[in-house]
Every structure is written in structure tokens, then in C-alpha cells.
């Protein structure tokens, strides 16, 4: 016997939805159906904001996981020695109706002007609220496709675009309002989609062969007054570079590839937490462009942020309808500090540019995200295994 559900569809069959009214199809199927049946299909955005002081770093985002039937959002806030994670989760509309209305509980993202202006709103939840408007300072940068394989399987196959910009609005934390003004508040954002591990852990199957020994990662989107730089580098444990993408976009629209950057990371003694980096790039004319990057505040995004290695909460995980929780971490707690080296760390990044290829006055200042992870073995860094620390 056939029955109709609340969406006017027969039984449990969810097919055509509101998105199918628009000519945006890429496959011969309804838009709500992911192009891959892989459980790890995702579509997510990431945004960060800071006032250039290093006193505070806000990281936030929202994601859809259609093959898991879930959607979620998070806010990660580092202030001094305290890091707070706010998590929101719910069921995703199987017809995809909420893809154009990006909202999870009290959290929503409004696309005011595609690829240029967004509004991020969190109605008061567990003591945190915000109403912030993003303005892109330069056009978005389409990054190279990112693929990772383990043995015969694909663990990550994703596309992403990135942008640098400024923020305006109000951030409220436990009754204190923080004015966010575009003359001081800057940040970066990205949107990515494809395949990457999300939700609950899948059955392991045969042990990986070869075993995963680690990865080295650097992501450096920086905003200068006259140009922006977006750099991504990934290396295997022996230092083989599997991803190398570095572009500079000028205000007049020119785009330059900056070659094969050479990177020197400076780590705090006895840690894997970087304090800064020297990155030497090459312009198309063969001129040297050097970035001196400093960390003003580190935020391990796997401590309350839901990224790889987070033992408390993971993107895409089903926690029940209308789920919310707030977790707070003392970053001096030995149990928390011991987790830091096993994931990626986002830093408030300050940079100066030098060299004949700078194209702007020597020492010009830029701001953005300094994201780095040295996970497991990395021979060029002198890390022999998962537990080796910097001297």
C-alpha cells in the first residue's frame, strides 16, 4: 500500500526538490542526490575572523552531508588560554530544500552577494551570539583539486575556493558585546565540497597497506593592501610534495603563479606548534618574493572544532535533532595540551613581504590565516615518528 508523507512524496522516496527548478544540474538525477554515493560526500564552508591583535580568534562554519542525512554548524573561539567550541546539528532536508537556506538551529549563513558578501548570524545560544557581515577584498581563488589516496582507496577528493576579506558587526560572548569593524577585523574563508572523512567512523576493513605514517600541511591565505596570496602545500612523510598551489591576485585582476615555495617552519622548543615561518616564492619573472610569517595566536581546530583527530565532536556526526552543546577547554590542561600535536593548528597570521619580487614597499604588512600541521613522520622537519618534538 502506498502512503504519502509530509513532503507530498510516496513512501520514503525523496526525488525532485525545489533546487530542480533551476538549471544547475550536473548529473541526470535530482540535485539533492549527491554525485557520489560515498558516505563521506560533504559540502561545507569555513570562515575566520580576528582583529589583528592576537587576543581573539573566531573560526566558524556550516556543512551539509547528504549521504549521512545530517547538517551542522560550529563556532570555535580562542581567547587567551581558553578555547570554546559551540556545536549545532540537525537532520538535513532529504529534498535539499535547505541548501538555499543555510541554517542549523540558531545559526545561519545568508549569501548577500555570491562570491563577495555573506552574513553570518547566530542567535544567542549557550551564551554566544553574532551578526557579522563578510566583504571579500579580492575575487575568490579557485584552488587546485585536492586528492589523497590510501592504498587502493580514495580518502579525500575535493574542490575548494578561498577568499580574504574584512568583517563588520557584533560578536557577543557571555553578555559582553565586541564591536567588529572592517578597519581592524580581517579574515579568510573557503568553501569546499567532495569526499573527505565525516561522521561516525566507518568499519575499518583490511588494515591500510602501507600504513598511514602522517602528512605535512601548510595553508597560507594572506591579505595585503595591494594583493592577496593563497598558498597550499602538502607533503608525504619523505617530503614528496603532492599538492603545490601558490597564486597572487592583484587588485587590478592580475593573477600570478608563485612557483615552488621553499618553506622553513619555526617550532616552539619541545612542541610541534609553529611560532612562525619563512616562505620563499618565485614570481613568473624569476624574482624572489619572501614572506616572513608570525603566529600571534594558535587554535588547534581538532580541539572543539570537529576537524580530524577531534575526540569530542566530528563534522557530520548524528547527535540527534536540534542538537546544541558548548565545550570549553583550558589550553594549559595537560590532557588538552597533549592533543595539540596530533592535528592541524590555525593561527592568527601576520606577514611581511620582502625581495625583488614583492612589487610593493619592502616590509609591507599583511594579515590572514597561518594554518599548519606536521602530523606523524616528516623527514625534512626531523620528525621521525608521531611523537618526535622540535628541539
Pairing relationship of beta strands 117-125 and 186-195 according to DSSP bridges:
unpaired
Q: What is the Cα–Cα distance from 99 to 64, expressed in whole angstroms?
A: 8
Strand-strand pairing, 274-282 and 288-300: antiparallel
Domain map (residue ranges) of the chain: 18-198+213-381
d(C-alpha 162, C-alpha 115), whole Å: 10
Rounded Cα gap, residues 273 and 225, in angstroms: 28
pTM (two decimals): 0.95
pLDDT reported for residue 6: 46
Cell numbers at 274, concatenated: 609553529
In whole angstroms, what is the distance from residue 22 CA to residue 291 CA?
Answer: 44
CA atoms within 13 A on the CB side of 321: 1
CA distance 338 to 222: 29
Question: Which CATH homologous superfamily contains domain 18-198+213-381?
Answer: AttH-like domain (2.40.370.10)
pLDDT by residue, tens only, the chain of 391 residues? 334 444 444 445 568 888 899 999 999 999 999 999 999 999 999 999 999 999 999 999 999 999 999 999 999 999 999 999 999 999 999 988 899 899 999 999 999 999 999 999 999 999 999 999 999 999 999 999 999 998 888 999 999 999 999 999 999 999 999 999 999 999 999 999 999 999 998 887 888 777 889 999 999 999 999 999 999 999 999 999 999 999 999 999 999 999 999 999 999 999 999 999 999 999 999 999 999 999 999 999 999 999 998 999 999 999 999 999 999 999 999 999 999 999 999 999 999 999 999 999 999 999 999 999 999 999 999 999 999 999 9
Q: ∠ CA 128-134-136 to the nearest 5 degrees?
A: 155
Measured at the alpha carbon of residue 236, what is the angle toward residues 230 and 237, in degrees to the nearest 5?
130
**Beta bridge partner(s), residue 76:** 59, 85
Amino acid at each position: 500500500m502506498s502512503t504519502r508523507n509530509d513532503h507530498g512524496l510516496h513512501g520514503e522516496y525523496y526525488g525532485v526538490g525545489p533546487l530542480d527548478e533551476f538549471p544547475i544540474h550536473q548529473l541526470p538525477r535530482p540535485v539533492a542526490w549527491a554525485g557520489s554515493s560515498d558516505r563521506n560526500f560533504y559540502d561545507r564552508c569555513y570562515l575566520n575572523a580576528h582583529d589583528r591583535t592576537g587576543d581573539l580568534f573566531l573560526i566558524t562554519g556550516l556543512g551539509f552531508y547528504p549521504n549521512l542525512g545530517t547538517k551542522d554548524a560550529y563556532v570555535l573561539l580562542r581567547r587567551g588560554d581558553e578555547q570554546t567550541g559551540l556545536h549545532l546539528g540537525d537532520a538535513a532536508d532529504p529534498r535539499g530544500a535547505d541548501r538555499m537556506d543555510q541554517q542549523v538551529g540558531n545559526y545561519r549563513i545568508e549569501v548577500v552577494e555570491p562570491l563577495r558578501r555573506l552574513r553570518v548570524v547566530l542567535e544567542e545560544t549557550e551564551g554566544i551570539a553574532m551578526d557579522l557581515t563578510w566583504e571579500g577584498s579580492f575575487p575568490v581563488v579557485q584552488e587546485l583539486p585536492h586528492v589523497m589516496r590510501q592504498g587502493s582507496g580514495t580518502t579525500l577528493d575535493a574542490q575548494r575556493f578561498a577568499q580574504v576579506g574584512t568583517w563588520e558587526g557584533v560578536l557577543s560572548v557571555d553578555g559582553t558585546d565586541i564591536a567588529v569593524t572592517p578597519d581592524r577585523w580581517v579574515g579568510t574563508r573557503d568553501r569546499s565540497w567532495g569526499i573527505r572523512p565525516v561522521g561516525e567512523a566507518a568499519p575499518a576493513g583490511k588494515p591500510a597497506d602501507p600504513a598511514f605514517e602522517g602528512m605535512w600541511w601548510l595553508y597560507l591565505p594572506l591579505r595585503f593592501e595591494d594583493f592577496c596570496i593563497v598558498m597550499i602545500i602538502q607533503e608525504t612523510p619523505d617530503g614528496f610534495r603532492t599538492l603545490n598551489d601558490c597564486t597572487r591576485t592583484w587588485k587590478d585582476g592580475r593573477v600570478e603563479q608563485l612557483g615552488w615555495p621553499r618553506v622553513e617552519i619555526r617550532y616552539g622548543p619541545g612542541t610541534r606548534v609553529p611560532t612562525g615561518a619563512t616562505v620563499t616564492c618565485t614570481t613568473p619573472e624569476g624574482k624572489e618574493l619572501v614572506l616572513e610569517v608570525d603566529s600571534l595566536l594558535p587554535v588547534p581546530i581538532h580541539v572543539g572544532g570537529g576537524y580530524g583527530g577531534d575526540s569530542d565532536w566530528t563534522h557530520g556526526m548524528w547527535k540527534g535533532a536540534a542538537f546544541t552543546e558548548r565545550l570549553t577547554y583550558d589550553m594549559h590542561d595537560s590532557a588538552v595540551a597533549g592533543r595539540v600535536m596530533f592535528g592541524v593548528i590555525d593561527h592568527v597570521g601576520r606577514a611581511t613581504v620582502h625581495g625583488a619580487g614583492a612589487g610593493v614597499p619592502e616590509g609591507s604588512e599583511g594579515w590572514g590565516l597561518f594554518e599548519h600541521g606536521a602530523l606523524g613522520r616528516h623527514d625534512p622537519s626531523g620528525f621521525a615518528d608521531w611523537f618526535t618534538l622540535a628541539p
